[in-house]
Amino acid sequence: MNGRVAVITGAAHGLGRAYAVRLAEQGASVVVADLDGAGAKAVAEQITADGGRAHAVAVDVADEEATAAMAAEAVGAFGRIDVLVNNAAIFLTVAMARVPFDEITVADWDRMMAVNVRGTWLACRAVVPAMRERSYGKIVNVSSDTALKGSPSRVHYVASKSAILGLTRTLASELAPDGIRVNAIAPGIVLSEPDPTPERRTRAAASQLLAGALVPDDLVGTVAFLASAASDPITGQILAVNGGGYM
């Protein structure tokens, strides 16, 4: 990843933070983008203190002007954009309703789609021009294995993550002539919060074949691979990283 510039959305906490730290460790200059501007700044400062290169950006990915500004800041800070990891989503840091489908409000549904689906689309649209300039780029979208198997009491979240699968495959087709690869990961239950409850640990471990609940470090290798030149022959693929929870 030496010389590469990676933009990671939702990078102030949890999985996004882990992706940012790993790509920086592998030599990438990282743009830490998040709705939580102070959190993004803290992550960028830690990466810099550890010898990496990072720049923090406060962004609401559901906002068209904000995502355009994010891409402009990335180019301004590092001169290019090679990688986008679309991690920002409503799930843990931004809480979502967990109720039957007919109890979800229209406002909750629309906000979920605005962040998880429109936000992913807008972030792609913002960075692709910089990638096209070099006829090369990597986009890694974050879906969920719930999009592959369904999950009760959060139909708006599952629907949004299902949309990411179609978006990924369609963009892979559209952007292949530009040398831009688009892939997605579909994580299982990942203990990304600071202090998971015993109940959540038990549920996470029970959802997969392999022993031991997943933690953020279990996903960073796959994201780093898809962001690197090692995955250049791969596009339009969905990788389920879930300990065998879905096959």
* CA atoms within 13 Å, Cβ hemisphere of 72: 7
Band of pLDDT at residue 96, cut at 50, 70 and 90: low
Which position among 19, 136, 157, 246 bears the catalytic label? 157
How far is Cα 91 from Cα 156, in angstroms, rounded to an integer?
11
Contact present, 244 and 208 (Cβ < 8 Å): yes
Flag whether 162 is in a domain.
yes
Is 199 contained in some domain? no
CATH code of the domain in which 28 resides? 3.40.50.720
- Mean pLDDT in residue range 151-175: 93
For residue 202, is it within any domain? Answer: no
Which residue range(s) make up the domain with 12? 5-188+219-241
The per-residue pLDDT for 209 is 76
Q: List Cα–Cα distances, 55 to 16, 32, 46, 84, 150, in angstroms.
A: 14, 6, 11, 14, 37
Residue 196 lies in a domain: no
Tens digits of residue pLDDT in 13-24? 999 999 999 999
Higher pLDDT, 148 or 9: 9
Query: Is residue 146, in this structure, part of any structural domain at all?
Result: yes
Is residue 214 in some structural domain?
A: no
Distance CA(205)–CA(214), nearest Å, equals 8
Mind listing the pLDDT tens digit for each residue in 109-157? 999 999 999 999 999 999 999 999 999 999 999 999 888 888 777 799 9
Look at residue 82 in the predicted model and tell me its pLDDT. 98
Q: What is the pLDDT of residue 19?
A: 97
Contact of 123 with 69, CB cutoff 8 Å: no
- Please confirm, yes or no, whether 136 is among the known catalytic residues: no
Between 109 and 193, where is the model more confident? 109
pLDDT score at 100 = 78
- What is the mean pLDDT of the segment spanning 164-192? 94
Residue 247 lies in a domain: no
209 within some domain: no
Q: What is the total count of domains within the chain?
A: 1
Burial of 195 (0-12, 13-18, 19+ CB in 10 A): exposed
